[in-house]
Structure 1
Amino acid sequence: MSLVSAIRTNSLGLSLFALITAGAIAVTQVMTRDSIAANREEAAARALYEIIPAERIDNDLLHDTVTLPRAQQVGSEGPLAIHLARKDDQVIGVIVPVIAADGYTGSIELIVGIEADGTLAGVRILRHQETPGLGDKVDLKKSPWVLGFNGERLQSDDDPGFAVKKDGGRFDQFTGATITPRAVVGGVKRALQLFRDNRAHLLEGSPWEVHRNG
């Protein structure tokens, strides 16, 4: 009976430990949830303002958005919130979130800033899982490659030059890693095409749902 009692006691102890651990994890998640959300929002705002600096606009770039009901061409499976940059209540540019699903090791999340005239204001990579030392060079922290988009634009409706050099385009690829830059270039091109197709709505007013929290 002593063995049975010992097993029962140990089982109760393990169960109690599991309950305490689960409770501690749950409490930690609740306590840090707001902090994590705030950190993510701060990081998102920082990336947006790297593309369109605060001194150029007079609105809240993070929260002033217009919702495009359908945007599958940039990887959105539902409505897409496009950030609006305003000066004197005129839209001078937009920032389009893009998901490039054709990265080497997974989807690449980026934002594409576009001036009112269709010129690229800048591109930033938000999240990726690309190979360190190769594909991760799309990240500005790793290399200045992404700055090569600044000032670029589509030369035609389907500009064949808007591709990596290996595909006959004008953008560099990385030695030993073509898939990742190809995915990013393709994502940026699709964002420019989306802007072109919806330019009047974005710049001159739209029947879409508009959020003006800023």
Structure 2
Amino acid sequence: MGFQFQFGAVFARSDLLLEGLLQTLQLAGMAIVFGGLLGILLAALRSLAPRAAGVLIDVYVELIRNTPFLVQLLIIYFGLPSIGVKLTAEQAALIGLVVYLGSYVTEIVRAGIESVHKSQIEAGLSLALTRWQVFRYIVLAPAIARVWPALASQFVLVTLATSVCSFISVQELSAQASNIESDTFRSFETYITVALIYLAIALTLRVLFAGLGAVLFPTGSGLGRLRGQSGA
């Protein structure tokens, strides 16, 4: 007997899919906001702070970027309670995602900052701008404009990485897919449906971030040209 697709059994549990989708989007949104801010802050500190602080930031970046996210997540969720820090699965997932994304954003923004020529900084100082004004308008803004496509791609990747959080029982999209598969025994249909949902999320986010980049760095402006040079 040939295999027969039965997507109806999966669609009948659309309430679980919707619940998982909302949890995924909530986790991803908070991770993008807080992880992005963490990365920008650490990249700025690395440029402005004493050498010792820069070394600590480098250690953080290398440690997180060169170890599996799943291992980091398990350490947070199962390891921290052993020293008295108890977290819910959702809290552990958010902290893990923020720490994970922050390391990548730090490195991406650092590369953008280092691409700003020293002569531009000197020109800003010669115009009697404060060091903070120079860093904000001449260094940081152009740096983010230049690396915006890379940041947007990383934000999409961390959204997809929320699927790993199912390993600590966060009821996001992948976990709900597992629940549906257990109830219906329709593995192929369940995971094809979920894969298409993730694809739709990724493509939608790419469009949204491209639009946000066009708003933050308008075409025709100096920052817009930098974004354009980066392939946005």
TM-score normalized by the length of structure 2: 0.26
- Rg larger for: 1
Q: Hey, which of these two has a bigger chunk of strand by percent?
A: 1
TM-score normalized by the length of structure 1: 0.27
Q: Hey, which of these two has a bigger chunk of helix by percent?
A: 2
